[in-house]
Amino acid sequence: MKEDLLKSIPEFNLIKDSDLREKVLKVWDIALAAGGWKVSDLQRMPFTLLIDPCPCSMIEHIRGVVNVSVNAAEALQSIYKSKVKINEDYLVAGALLHDIGKLVEYKEENGKFIQTNLGRLVRHPISGVGLCYSQGIPEEVMHIIASHSWEGDRSKRTPEAIIVHHADFTNFEQFK
């Protein structure tokens, strides 16, 4: 599973701390098992159910959000230097995990991806944190997951969470 994940999403390797990288991969593994998915299913899985038909897969979306996040962080740091403090490992881990809850928010029935009962009752920013909670994922990374969507609009987002939030919508709205 880990090899398949790394092949599909090479951006896991952008996490420099090997311990954090392994924990992030472990959460992906747990989420895949919880949703009953194979890595290859993520190539077909739409990244959102709000756009039908959705032209963009979960794999593409996650990679898009990681890459926009990393490039935005680089741009900010090149101009503002130490006035903007970004933990790049937390940023990448948060971008990789921001939609992990969607693996339990969706199910496939008769070839169609639909919402699960859990997804209806507990949206992915919350179920995503649930999947991470006992896996040693840093609180800063769980904050990114929890606050990346509108659930986080009332919270004070960290610099990393601000970037992932906007990177997510930047990717989403291209296809809306």
Chain contacts with Fe ion (rule: CB under 5 A): 99, 168
Min separation Cβ 61 and Fe ion, Å: 6
What distance in Å separates the CA atoms of residue 30 and residue 97, rounded to the nearest whole number? Answer: 12
Min separation Cβ 139 and Fe ion, Å: 20
Min separation Cβ 168 and Fe ion, Å: 4
Q: Is the CB of 50 or the CB of 80 nearer to Fe ion?
A: 50
Q: Is the CB of 21 or the CB of 61 nearer to Fe ion?
A: 61
Q: Is the CB of 116 or the CB of 169 nearer to Fe ion?
A: 169
Q: Is the CB of 21 or the CB of 128 nearer to Fe ion?
A: 128
Min separation Cβ 99 and Fe ion, Å: 4
Min separation Cβ 111 and Fe ion, Å: 23
Give the other-Cβ count within 10 Å of 135's Cβ.
14
Q: Contacts by 78-86 with C-beta closer than 8 Å and gap 24+?
A: 84/159, 85/159, 86/159, 86/160, 86/163
What distance in Å separates the CA atoms of residue 24 and residue 135, rounded to the nearest whole number? Answer: 9
Kindly give, in sequence order, each residue whose CB lies less than 8 Å from that of residue 141, ignoring residues fewer than 6 positions away.
90, 93, 94, 97, 132
Kindly give, in sequence order, each residue whose CB lies less than 8 Å from that of residue 33, ignoring residues fewer than 6 positions away.
none
Min separation Cβ 126 and Fe ion, Å: 14
Q: Is the CB of 160 or the CB of 168 nearer to Fe ion?
A: 168
Q: Is the CB of 99 or the CB of 105 nearer to Fe ion?
A: 99
